[in-house]
Amino acid sequence: MTVAATSIKIPRRLKTRIERLARNTGESSHAFMLRALAGQVEATERYQAFLQDGVRADEAMLRSGLGYAAADVHAYLEAKVAGRRGRRPRPVRWRG
């Protein structure tokens, strides 16, 4: 793994909190901050991918003219959450 040095200035109170948490978990402040940064980067990447999936799905719906009735989707999800077999929604033409 190639590493790049960087410098970050953080408020003293935040640094104190990081040091306390790192000490409690048995790791260095440096390792704690790297883990926190990596976790935030991964979460942001997942969120951006989620948004892009939504944009692509919306574009596909606009091209095809097919979608799902919200009531059917809600009923299906409610059944799944309750542990029941739900009837899968069927696509419907929402525009001519």
> Which residue's entry shows tokens 């048995």?
26
Name the token pair of 6.
Answer: 């960087």
Give the pairing type, strands 66-67 and 92-93.
antiparallel
pTM of the complete model: 0.72
Q: Mean pLDDT across the chain, nearest whole number?
A: 95
What tokens were used for 64?
A: 């095809």
pLDDT at 89 > cutoff 90: yes
Could you tell me which residues come within 8 angstroms of residue 11 by beta carbon, excluding any fewer than 6 positions away? none
pLDDT of residue 37: 97
Question: Which tens digits make up the pLDDT trace of 66-86?
Answer: 999 999 999 999 999 999 998
User: Which sign does the torsion angle of CA 74, 80, 85, 88 carry?
Assistant: positive
